[in-house]
Structure 1
Amino acid sequence: MYKYQQIANQLRQAFTTGAYAPGAMLPDQEALAKTYHTTRITIRKALQLLIVEGVVYSKRGSGTFLRKDFKPDDGAARTTIDDPLGTTATQRGHQVTSKVLEFAARMPAPDEQEALLIGASDPVYVIRRVRYVDGKIFSYEHTIMPTKVIALTEAMLEGSIYRQLHEAGIRVAGSHRRVYAIKATTDDVEALGATLNDPVLVIKQTSYTDEGEPFEYSESHFPYATSSVIADVEIDPLNQG
């Protein structure tokens, strides 16, 4: 685990134990760097991770604050629209497990070729998983990944695919995402325990390595009753014309 991740965990623990009141301003980056015996760059990365998770927010010219709606005992699973990593990374502090519904390899469909920039003869993995956070259903994932990216096993899929990528030296740069709602399908009934035609939140994404190569084309479904998507929008006061 990197230093900035360790610091983010320690800050998160401080928030959970009530060391900071909801809405409280955090010490500035220089003070935090001295407290944690590190650099401001490392602190900045730790705070950015917490911003992505929706734990803190930054107000230009004022500082970084613990969210006013933060609840120390809030164990609800949630995702943010700009989460750059997988469920295991974005749900730190929670137990994340998986149930593999399908793991196979085949040739890609035309839309998969287009999204992943591969040819018709380039095989892909087909991965369907149910993800659980603290024993509760979090999402149903349907992922298409070129087999050339990394060699996977079903045992690996029960954990974190992104961790496997990291251990293989593959750096994840980000994702292009589309968020929308659909009516629950028979797959959602099977995977999420949803009722047919009930609303389901969908995040469809293509993810890229830091070299700009698409490595994942996926669709994640979330039960409407227990999930929410959060987006923080920062507005530049100089461009409000």
Structure 2
Amino acid sequence: MAYKYKEVANTLRHQIQNGQYEPGELMPDQNQIAKNFNTTRITVHKALQLLMVEGMVYSKRGSGTYVRKDYVPNQHSDNFGKVSPIDKPFGATMTNQGKTVTSKVLELSARIPTKDEADKLIIQPTEPVYVIRRVRYVNGKIFAYEHTIMPTAITTLTEDILEKSIYGHLQQEGLSIEGTHRIVHADKADHTDVDTGIAKKIGEPVLVINQLSYLDDGQPFEISESRFPYQTSRLTADITL
């Protein structure tokens, strides 16, 4: 299926590649782009988010969307716009195939989203979201602590599902995961890290991954933060130049 937001993203991508919008340049606002493409502002928002995931543009609150200053136009690059392996949101179960992945569910509740959550998930401020907290284990050893916010309209979740694989459940529901915007950084362990076993003491280093993930129709379905013990955490990325 050819989604409208992908058509908009493809056209904007080509315009940036062709130099119609220069690195660092402010792009038209979303209402103007929607008018140009005879579509809705939500569709444009999804298209721009896709370009953000690809590292082509960035959004500045209160100012607009800009082409990244470090972007170098290259119309002949076959790799441009592809999500690198480190950014693919496979989940713990998929990335640890052949191993036993289990979960300890700490929380499964629902509430009204914060303004920031509603904006990122492109939902109404009155639409409820799941609050999910769980500790993941691989072959019986602590792998990560996950804190996830997900719209309840996406799917129905139970503790039984959370003890297994959320992404596997989404696929069984016929939902296809398109990509993710991921930020990886280091942090100092807090009380939650110690309580969940991610760290032995407060202040110890932990690896943190924050991500916003999307379905293939452009709908964001997950805001999550995963925290990993520094002793067993390693990121590997294959980079093609």
Question: For residue 155 of structure 2, what is the amino acid of its counterpart?
Answer: I
Which residue pairs with 2:158 in the alignment?
Answer: 153
Matched AA of 1:160 = S
Q: State which of 108, 112, 120 in structure 2 corresponds to 1:107.
A: 112
Q: Percent identity, please.
A: 56
* 1:1-241 correspondence to structure 2 within 5 Å: 81-194=86-199, 195-235=201-241
What amino acid maps onto 2:239 in structure 1?
V
Equivalents in 2 of 1:97, 1:165: separation in Å? 17
The answer to whether the 8 A contact 1:123-1:146 is kept is: yes
CA distance in 1, matches of 2:205, 2:94: 26
Do 2:144 and 2:198's aligned partners in 1 also have CA atoms closer than 8 Å?
no
Whole-angstrom CA distance in 2 between matches of 1:193 and 1:230: 20
Give, in whole Å, the separation in 1 of the partners of 2:227 and 2:142: 11
Unpaired stretches in structure 1, ≥5 consecutive residues: 1-79, 236-241
**What is aligned with 1:51?**
none
Alignment-mate amino acid for residue 175 of structure 2: I
- Letter paired with 1:91: N
Q: Secondary structure at the match of 2:107?
A: strand
Q: Distance in 1 between matches of 2:207 and 2:133?
A: 17
Aligned mates of 1:224, 1:123 — CA distance in 2 = 34
Q: Which runs of 4+ in 1 moved over 3 A?
A: none
Structure 2 residues not aligned, in runs of 5+: 1-84
Instruction: Say if 1:172 and 1:210, in contact at 8 Å, map to a contact too.
Output: yes
* Distance in 1 (alpha carbons) for counterparts of 2:188 and 2:115: 25
Q: Secondary structure at the match of 1:129?
A: strand
Write out per-residue CA displacement over residues 36-72 of structure 1, whole angstroms, 9 at most, x where no aligned residue. Answer: xxxxxxxxxxxxxxxxxxxxxxxxxxxxxxxxxxxxx
Q: TM-score, normalised by structure 1?
A: 0.63
Q: Distance in 2 between matches of 1:184 and 1:93?
A: 30
How much has 1:225 moved relative to structure 2? Answer: 1.0
C-alpha distance in 2 between matches for 1:138 and 1:179: 16
- 1:10 aligns with none
Residue 192 of structure 1, CA deviation: 2.5
2:3 corresponds to: none
1:60 corresponds in structure 2 to none
SS at match of 1:200: strand
TM-score between both structures, scaled by the size of structure 2: 0.63
SS at match of 1:162: helix
